[in-house]
Amino acid sequence: MQKFGFITVLNKSSLDKSSTHSFILNVLRGIAALQVCVHHFRNHFFPSFSDVVDPGFIFKLFAFATGFANHAVMIFFAISGWLVGGSVLNNIRKNNFAINYAIDRISRLWTVLIPVFIISLLVVLAIQNISFLYKDVFMGSPSIGALTFIGNLLGLQTIFIDRYAANYPLWSLANETAYYLTFPLLVGLFVPAFSFKVKAVLCAALLLVLGYLPTEIIIFASVWLLGALFSRVQIQTNLCGKFALLMLSLGFMLWGRYKNMHDDIYIILLYIVPLMAYLSANLTDTPTAIKQNKLLQKVVHFLSEISFSLYVLHVPFIYLFQSFYTGVTGQKLLNLNVNGALVFAAMIVLTLLFTYIFYRLFENQHVPLRQYLKHKILK
């Protein structure tokens, strides 16, 4: 370890699941996934804020509070950088790293994506072929060909092909796949044990991949890299300092939301840096009060565990609900009243319920699958 004042550079990335920062990561994952889900449901089932002639205070608050989907995705990128990038930094010098890493990433993604794509296909076919369902619900043309299926599994959507079944949140998985691929290549250039020839190959591969990536993916890589960087840092500060970091991050988020500057990389970095610093300041054991709060633990565990499934599965449910609702009632949008709010809440609850069932059936199997593949390939 190296210490520079109140900052300590750690020998290993902080991935301890019993520490406070791990609990905070789970809170962020759960809230971010729920925010994206509710944001997209709101966009489909309620009029845009600018289209409402006289929005009341409640609708203004609702519209503002559900408008942080872009912030949520950026937080996902930073969390992924911390967890996946931190794991790369810890393990790249180990034997069979490349095989282990490939199995980890593929098993994590495909145990979710393959069944999601099959469900998405069934939803598209149902909407297109069941007579009473409303057809015009898709955001873009729902491409459901085999090439699009395979391309989305490989993370090539938005680069070479369309997003599968018009599932528009899949854009971020192209970013994630690119970061999963390029980060080990980048880190390998700085591993002393690697020979010049190995580093030359890694450099050539890195430049080749970067040459095909859209500018937006490369720009947002800075967010992912910050997560990986801060996983190696411990910040010493008191409770007031931690609170200040959290408030600084939240303040920049609110400011960016108010100014409608969702995709401005400078605004994004202004709230991601203090948020990652806040995590680095919480590398201690989880407080007893949090450990003993069973209800809080269950809610955080539930939302964090289903966060990936919820992120990639909620749009097919939106299409299905909207097609059914419009087909039955003749209305595209919900009414801005109590009945509309109840229907909206019911759809969110049903989506969470179906997502949990999906999680238990599929996503929850990625660890046994990973262990099986490693046993068969590395034995």
The tokens describing 236, both together, are 């010493």
Nearest residue to 222 via CA among 185, 158, 283, 267: 267
pLDDT for res 140: 81
Cα-based distances in Å from 242 to 72, 247, 248, 268, 283: 21, 9, 10, 20, 12
The tokens describing 92, both together, are 């790249």
Q: Is 315 helix (H, G, I), strand (E, B) or coil?
A: helix
Tell me how far apart the alpha carbons of residues 59 and 43 are, in angstroms, rounded to a whole number. Answer: 13
Domain region containing 321: 2-378
Q: Please give the radius of gyration of the chain, using alpha carbons only, rounded to the nearest integer.
A: 22
pLDDT for res 317: 97
pLDDT for res 201: 97
Tell me how far apart the alpha carbons of residues 6 and 233 are, in angstroms, rounded to a whole number. Answer: 10
Beta bridge partner(s), residue 3: 8
pLDDT in tens, the chain (379 residues): 787 778 999 888 888 888 899 999 999 999 999 999 999 999 999 988 777 878 888 889 999 999 999 999 999 999 999 999 999 999 999 999 999 999 999 999 999 999 999 999 999 999 999 988 999 899 888 999 999 999 999 999 999 999 999 999 999 999 999 999 999 999 999 999 999 999 999 999 999 999 999 999 999 999 999 999 999 999 999 999 999 999 999 999 999 999 988 889 999 999 999 999 999 999 888 787 888 888 999 999 999 999 999 999 999 999 999 999 999 999 999 998 999 999 999 999 999 999 999 999 999 999 999 999 999 998 7
- Structural domain count, the chain: 1
Tell me how far apart the alpha carbons of residues 175 and 186 are, in angstroms, rounded to a whole number. Answer: 16
Q: What is the pTM of this model?
A: 0.94
Tell me how far apart the alpha carbons of residues 166 and 171 are, in angstroms, rounded to a whole number. Answer: 10
Residue matched to tokens 């680069």: 159
Tell me how far apart the alpha carbons of residues 117 and 152 are, in angstroms, rounded to a whole number. Answer: 9
pLDDT for res 57: 87
The tokens describing 154, both together, are 């490989």
pLDDT for res 284: 84
Tell me how far apart the alpha carbons of residues 347 and 18 are, in angstroms, rounded to a whole number. Answer: 34
Q: Are 12 and 290 in contact (CB under 8 A)?
A: no
pLDDT for res 245: 97
User: What's phi and psi for 375, nearest 5 deg?
Assistant: -65, -40
